[in-house]
A and B are shown apart, each in its own frame.
Chain A
Amino acid sequence: KDQVFQPSTVASSEGAVVEIFCNHSVSNAYNFFWYLHFPGCAPRLLVKGSKPSQQGRYNMTYERFSSSLLILQVREADAAVYYCAVCMDSNYQLIWGAGTKLIIKP
């Protein structure tokens, strides 16, 4: 079955680097998409691709079936749910993980 896996929660202290890991079992998906979601708002794309990339404080690692989102200098305002998704190259649908809730420890 085509699935995307990510941890349900990750906790970090302010100023640290946070890593959220994701892996998938989708045979015809090559691109990862990392979204930030505050409930009630539109999910916002942070970084995407089929190779390592960086957008501001967000880094993405890439392997064929796994990726990590690294958030640099994490802040209290980064507390949210982060979704990993992969895009099928047959019908372009995103297959999503269940989301990782980032908790910032005081």
Chain B
Amino acid sequence: GAGVSQTPSNKVTEKGKYVELRCDPISGHTALYWYRQSLGQGPEFLIYFQGTGAADDSGLPNDRFFAVRPEGSVSTLKIQRTERGDSAVYLCASSKTSGDTYEQYFGPGTRLTVT
């Protein structure tokens, strides 16, 4: 079956521009997570959705970052006024439901480069 997909796979943008990163979770998975991975580091949590609502957005670095999941399936991570420090791989994961024992299935990530 289809896994988690993310588009685009690569995105290059200029400093100050707006970008949207899309995540298609596994069908039927109610929980969705966004992580950001900088070079040489492990992924860092950004935000987690249970259904349509953001259950925890404590990892979003500032108010330039926002994410939505309007129908409880596809999610979009939105970054306004991008900065060079936003360059990273953005990973999306989904799981059947939320819980600390459920496997999070990851997409391949979107590599964002801000020039």
Contact = CB atoms under 8 A, between A and B. Distances in A.
B76 interface: no
Interface residues of B, number: 30
Contact of A94 (B3, B4, B41, B43): B43
Please classify how large the interface on chain A is, using the bins under 10, 10 to 19, 20 to 34, 35 or more: 20 to 34
B42 A40 contact: no
Interface string A48-59: 111000000000
Contacts, number: 69
Query: Main SS of the interface on chain B?
Result: loop
Interface string B39-54: 0111111001000000
24 contacts: A31-B100, A31-B101, A33-B103, A42-B3, A42-B4, A42-B105, A43-B43, A43-B91, A45-B103, A45-B105, A48-B101, A83-B42, A83-B43, A87-B100, A91-B55, A91-B56, A92-B48, A92-B100, A93-B33, A93-B48, A94-B33, A96-B42, A97-B42, A98-B41
